[in-house]
Amino acid sequence: MRHYRRSLELRERVGSGPGLAAAQITLAEVRYKRDGNADHALDLFGRAYQGAAEVHSELFVANASAAKSRIYRDQGHFDEAVRELTEAIRAMDAIHSDEDVPEYFEQIALIQLLQGQPTAAVSAAERGIARRSSPRLAALWQLARVRTGQPVPPVAPATPATDDSVVIARLALAASRPDAALEAATRGDDPDTLLLAARAVGPDGIDRAMRAAAAMSRAQELRFARERASFGGR
């Protein structure tokens, strides 16, 4: 952490620019994962966004927007999270780059599933697949399609055999096997898939997911604790 702070201090002395935005984003992400302080992270991400916008660095505008979206997602501010991801996609389109864009659409689709909007999630997943398909996106598309109540068509995006726990969890959810999905999700690295699986299992699922969430970061531990408290009040 000391090295990240020192890097930011040195770049602040030099002035603005993409390098300063990069340092702000990195330090904010490290701190947020460690202590879950959303307000501090959003402040640094906001400063990174403004600095990058001032020097027309669309890449770091996108990075800052995507980082802000993750904070909003964790706090349950889903509309704000989607807005930030949409801004990240706009910024990447401005420089004619597909880098990270499929992942941004994937994150939008996940948020929409968490909101109970599977039709919108299908559309977002399809837009991501149009940019660049992946087993994770294809599995997410299948899950979203199933949750609309429509069968997966015979010709679907390929989901090759994989040992990716996130893909396995999403496909298990699509097959209405929540316990298997949660077991796989606890071995994966995607907190949204973990939360979807935990919700599908029920109150016990949230408790079972807590250890995996805490292993991801302090921020995710706090997020799942809030979810557990919210679930108990439903």
**Does a structural domain hold residue 130?**
yes
Using left for φ > 0, alpha for ψ between -120 and 50, and beta otherwise, residue 100 falls in: left
Whole-number pLDDT of residue 19: 74
* Residue that wins the pLDDT comparison between 23 and 58: 58
Q: Average of pLDDT values for 156-180? A: 85
Whole-number pLDDT of residue 15: 57
**Does a structural domain hold residue 179?**
no
% the chain with pLDDT above 90: 76
Structural domain harbouring 116: 99-160
Write the pLDDT tens digit of every residue in 24-69. Answer: 888 899 899 999 999 999 999 999 999 899 889 999 999 999 999 9
**Does a structural domain hold residue 202?**
no
Whole-number pLDDT of residue 230: 86
Q: Average of pLDDT values for 78-91? A: 98
**Does a structural domain hold residue 32?**
no
pLDDT at position 215 over 90: yes
Write the pLDDT tens digit of every residue in 101-115. Answer: 999 999 999 999 999
Closest CA to 136 of 193, 96, 90, 78: 193
Write the pLDDT tens digit of every residue in 125-163. Answer: 999 999 999 999 999 999 999 999 987 765 555 555 579
Whole-number pLDDT of residue 4: 45
Domain count, the chain: 1
**Does a structural domain hold residue 43?**
no
Whole-number pLDDT of residue 172: 95
**Does a structural domain hold residue 145?**
yes
| Alpha-carbon span 160 to 231, nearest angstrom | 35
Spatial contact of 151 and 173, defined as CB atoms under 8 Å apart: no
Beta strands in the chain (DSSP E): none
Measured CA to CA in angstroms, residue 191 lies from 46, 72, 74, 91, 140 at distances of 23, 14, 9, 25, 14
SS3 14: helix
**Does a structural domain hold residue 223?**
no
Tell me the average pLDDT of the chain: 89
**Does a structural domain hold residue 114?**
yes
Position 9 confidence tier, pLDDT thresholds 50, 70, 90: very low
Whole-number pLDDT of residue 183: 98
The amino acid at 232: G
pLDDT at position 76 over 90: yes
Closest CA to 74 of 35, 111, 47: 111
Give the N- to C-terminal CA distance of the chain in Å, as an integer: 39
